[in-house]
């Protein structure tokens, strides 16, 4: 096992893209199993309609193979799979993280987030997020039948794609002032790693004399990608 930690985000596993599912299982079995820990920072699934759903048994089994080998797997909710719950944790051995979460590895402070909370200029999305993350909405949704939930999730996906086409691209990216406020609130971490925007890049930031890096993870729609970190530094990789 290598002394490295891996970060991924926005895999968006979906039955309509079986090649991505195969690629991710291969990644878990061949790459992640050579690490100390794997952090999945949201949107592992295109949608997740509840832990009683019997989709993606192959993914659950692949994650469980990692945790059975004492490789730590941490999972953060994304905007598409925020209904992942305790039963998923139990079956996979993965641990759900709060968003944001501050960790320390290899002597570095690292702030982790899915990233959608930084997109405060997209007011329509933030209002929708507040609605569906409310406990009353989640409880009502989970009481519906599986077929009803699938239908609602598909409608949300269609609306989301339509809204993206009608919104200025800049409001769907992070708000830099919100990024700065978050970095200050968490006492200037060395790295801020997130996904969501599908705009992979490394941004250098200087605030109050502190040098930091904001690392945006790529999505898996076209090609799988991940970030590795060890005592010597960070490295972006493609599948």
Which ranges constitute the DSSP H helices of the chain?
Answer: 18-30, 57-68, 86-92, 123-133, 135-142, 146-166, 176-185
List the structure tokens of 144. Answer: 């519906």
Percent over 90 (pLDDT), the chain? 87
Q: What is the pLDDT of residue 161?
A: 84
Cα–Cα distance for residue pair 64/73, rounded to 1 Å: 9
Cα–Cα distance for residue pair 15/64, rounded to 1 Å: 20
In the chain, where the domains are located: 5-116+174-238
Residue 161, number of CB atoms within 10 A of its CB = 9
Q: CB under 8 Å to 101, separation ≥6 — which residues?
A: 76, 111, 112, 113
Task: For CA atoms 104, 105, 109, 110, give the dihedral sign.
Answer: negative
Full-model pTM: 0.95
**Lookup result for tokens 């192959």:** 58
Cα–Cα distance for residue pair 115/135, rounded to 1 Å: 21
Cβ atoms of residues 10 and 228 within 8 Å: no
Mean predicted confidence (pLDDT) in 127-137 = 96
Band (88; pLDDT cuts 50, 70, 90) = very high
Q: CB under 8 Å to 163, separation ≥6 — which residues?
A: 124, 125
Q: What is the DSSP string of 8-45?
A: E----B-TT-HHHHHHHHHHHHHTGGGSSEEEE-S-SB
Q: What is the pLDDT of residue 1?
A: 58
pLDDT tens-digit series, residues 159-201: 888 888 888 888 889 999 999 999 999 999 999 999 999 999 9
Q: CB under 8 Å to 155, separation ≥6 — which residues?
A: none
Is 5-116+174-238 a domain of CATH 3.60.21.50? Answer: yes
**Category of 198 on φ-ψ map: left (φ > 0), alpha (ψ -120 to 50) or beta:** left
Mean pLDDT estimate for the chain: 95
């Amino acid at each position: 096992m290598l002394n490295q930690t891996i970060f991924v985000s926005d895999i968006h596993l979906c039955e309509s893209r079986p090649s991505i599912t195969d690629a991710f299982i291969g990644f878990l079995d061949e790459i992640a199993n050579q690490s100390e820990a794997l952090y999945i920072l949201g949107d592992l699934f295109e949608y997740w309609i509840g832990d009683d759903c019997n989709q993606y048994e192959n993914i659950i089994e692949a994650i469980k193979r990692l945790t059975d080998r004492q490789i730590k797997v941490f999972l953060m909710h994304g905007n598409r799979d925020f209904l992942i719950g305790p039963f998923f944790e139990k079956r996979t051995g993965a641990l759900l993280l709060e968003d944001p979460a501050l960790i320390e590895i290899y002597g570095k402070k690292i702030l982790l987030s899915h990233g959608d909370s930084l997109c405060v200029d997209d007011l329509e999305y933030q209002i929708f997020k507040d609605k569906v993350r409310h406990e009353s909405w989640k409880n009502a949704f989970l009481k519906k039948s599986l077929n009803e939930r699938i239908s609602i999730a598909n409608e949300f996906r269609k609306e989301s794609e339509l809204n993206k086409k009608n919104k200025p691209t800049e409001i769907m990216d992070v708000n830099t002032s919100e990024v700065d406020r978050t970095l200050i609130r968490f006492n200037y971490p060395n790295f801020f790693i997130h996904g969501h925007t599908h705009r992979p890049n490394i941004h250098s930031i200087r605030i109050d004399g502190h040098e930091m890096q904001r690392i945006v993870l790529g999505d898996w729609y076209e090609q799988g990608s991940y970030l590795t970190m060890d005592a010597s530094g960070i490295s972006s990789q493609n599948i």
